[in-house]
Amino acid sequence: MPRRDLVTWNALIFCNSKCGMGHVGVELFRQMGIKGVIADDYTYAIVLNEFASRSQIFEAMQVYSLILRCGICLDRFVSNSLLNLYSKCGFIASAMLLFEEMPNPDVVSWTSIISGISHRGRVSKAFWLFHKMRVANVEPNSFTFGALFGACANSSAFQKGKQFHGLVLKIGLEANVVVASAIVDMYSKCGETDDAFKVFQTMPERDIASWNGIICGFSQNGEAMKALKLYDELLLSKSPVIAPNGVTFVGVLNACRHSGLVKEGYDYFNDMIHRYMIKPEAEHFTCMLDLLARAGLLQEAEALMKALLFKPDVVMLSSMLGACKLHWNLEMARHVVKRLYVDEPWNCSNYVLLSNLYADIGRSEAIEVREVMDDRGVEKILGLSWVEIGSCMHSFVAADKLHPCVEAICDVLQRLSLQMQESYQNEFSFPLN
């Protein structure tokens, strides 16, 4: 082209960003500046979103300084890109400050801040922001609900998820594939597989995220055979646009390991590599290791771990240690623990598992492991239980006395205990002749 204007540069930058070649788009943005072409709000938005997708906050701040110099920092298009950047990179305080300064945030602005807040574990704040969004008469879209259902799934907020599901039906977004897939995933992660399957069956259109949500849901909730049956249905559908991906095989391999299907697990693993040309990730190897270890094939599991092209992570090693305890293999447990002591010296689970193994086989070294924990200052982390009442999540530890309703809770537990004892006595008492 003998002459290139701003529209030409923007089109090429956007094209590269959209096609997964964002680094080329960023280089074009630099060349554009060298050529003396002044960028506009659209250019800056594309570049900022590219840096946000790669969490390159330092480079994004350099672009932001250019925006400030140009005096277009209050443009909504650019503000939304900045908001997306701050949210994805974890700068929640900066994101909130920017959001509060925006005069009229639109649905993109609200969705970005809700998504960013929920990803940082502040689920209640995300729900509160959504309420404020509704009060401001901003209509949520499919991505807003995707973020909300994701927050419900990660915090097991089942009742809140049901409320959002009702709102989706009221607005008329239930047929949207993004929303429906998020609902399936939410119900699955909350343990409500029947509700998840009902939604899945009514979907007029399904993508691979929908299939993955229901397959992984059944797999994680102890219904392995249903998960594998659905995987077979996915293959039989022969859709040209839907094919199993890495997440699908995580669900399938999980189903195999929970059911002890060693041969089937190997078959699926080989299909993933050779039939679908999917490179196995650490999660897939973890599933295979755990499958072999749970089945008592500890030597095979160890051989697979040694054959890895990368260093085994702590999840793999912890899985091996748990299997060693299950099958009372003390020698292998010692080798695994030595590696865990180096990689995770402060993880109490490693010490506790080895100590319990020693105790199970009557070895006095159990006391020594506990002493090592004390010497190193490693404290055992208490397990938490969550109960959802209404729209509020309550957490408890063993012998918890801190809950404000502890007296009423203990009273109910005592009455339940008496009822169970009475029921047991009635069931197993026999009349004397």
Specify the number of domains making up the chain. 3
Residue 140 lies in a domain: no
What is the pLDDT at residue 184? Answer: 93
Model confidence over 11-61: pLDDT tens digits?
Answer: 888 888 887 787 888 888 888 888 888 878 778 888 877 877 777 777 877
> Does 247 score more than 80 pLDDT?
yes
> Does 267 score more than 90 pLDDT?
yes
387: β partners: 394
Residue 331 lies in a domain: yes
Residue 351 lies in a domain: yes
Q: For residue 402, what are the CA distances in angstroms to 380, 383, 395, 416?
A: 19, 15, 10, 21
- Residue 364 and residue 324 share a domain: yes
Residue 141 lies in a domain: no
- Mean pLDDT, to the nearest integer, of 398-409? 79
Q: Which amino acid is at 132?
A: K
Residue 17 lies in a domain: yes
Residue 49 lies in a domain: yes
Please say which residue of 104, 123, 146 terminates a domain: 104
> Does 358 score more than 80 pLDDT?
no
- Mean pLDDT, to the nearest integer, of 241-256? 90
- Residue 394 and residue 329 share a domain: no
Range of the domain at 395: 386-426
Query: Average pLDDT over the chain, rounded to whole?
Result: 82
> Does 430 score more than 60 pLDDT?
no
- Residue 376 and residue 422 share a domain: no
Residue 356 lies in a domain: yes
CA distance 130 to 159: 16
- Residue 418 and residue 394 share a domain: yes
- Residue 408 and residue 337 share a domain: no
- Residue 376 and residue 320 share a domain: yes
CA angle (311, 313, 314) in 5-degree steps: 140
> Does 153 score more than 80 pLDDT?
yes
Please say which residue of 40, 71, 104 terminates a domain: 104
